[in-house]
Each structure stands twice: as structure tokens, then as C-alpha cells.
Amino acid sequence: MKRGCDDILKRIRPRESTSWIPEDVYAALRYPDSSHHVCWIVSRNEKALGWLIGSLNKDQYGQLEFVVWDAWDIPLNERDERDDVDGARDQLMEYVRMWTKANGGWRVVTYSYRKLEHLGWTKSHTTYYQVV
């Protein structure tokens, strides 16, 4: 997981004003009773292909939604045709949607600079913020 976290941080900094570090992910998973985060790791043929971490939270209307905090998959240059990373990602997201619904959630959300429509996500709104 550390490699995935490091890859993500390299991609988003300095553009994003984030202060999280890989150890935040480990702590969230180590103490799930207080963080309420869950993680799924995807592998095929004994090869780790990626992971996803998030938590069930209430939205501004009090409804449960699963918020994907972080997700990673292996870079294109490390994949071979047997990996089927796209198929594994689709399978994982189907499971996450089923898990969310079974736990009382009504949707899965994530916040990203990347365009995700090609992965089945629907763009909802743009978030703006001011640092205080």
C-alpha cells in the first residue's frame, strides 16, 4: 500500500493542498473502530493489482454514502494481458456498490481532479474552497 500512497502523493502535490501521508492510511486501517475506514485489495494470479479505501459517512441530508478516500492500481507499464486491471476494477466497484447498499448507503462518491466519467462515475458538482 505504501507504494500506491507514494504514487498518489507524487501525482497530486503540489497542486492539491493536502497534508495526508501514507501513515494516515495505515492508521485509519489499523484503528477501524475510530476511523470507520475499510480497504479492499485486488489481486489476480497472486499479483496485487490495486486497492481502494473509504468509509460510510452521512451526506448533508443525513443519508449514508460511501466516500472513496483513496484508490490505486498498478501503472500501465507493469501490467500484462493476464492482469485485466480494468476488469478487476469494474468487479471491485460492483462489490463496493453492493456493500454500500447492504450497509444502508445510497451512493458511492469520490473527490478527484481526474475525469472519471470513462470509469462509470457521474460528475455532480465542482468543489471550491478557501483556506482559513
For the chain, the domain total comes to 1
Residue 121: name the closest of 96, 85, 84 by CA.
96
Evaluate whether residue 12 is within a structural domain: yes
CATH code of residue 43:
3.40.630.30
Backbone angles phi, psi at 65, to 5 degrees: -140, 150
Q: What is the DSSP letter of 53?
A: E
- Do residues 91 and 40 lie in contact, with contact meaning Cβ atoms separated by under 8 Å? no
Q: What is the pLDDT of residues 55-84, one digit of tens each?
A: 999 998 999 999 998 889 999 999 998 999
Q: What range does the domain containing 40 cover?
A: 2-119
**Could you tell me how far CA 27 lies from the centroid of its own chain?**
16
Radius of gyration of the chain (CA): 15
Q: What is the pLDDT of residues 92-113, one digit of tens each?
A: 999 999 999 999 999 999 887 7
Evaluate whether residue 30 is within a structural domain: yes
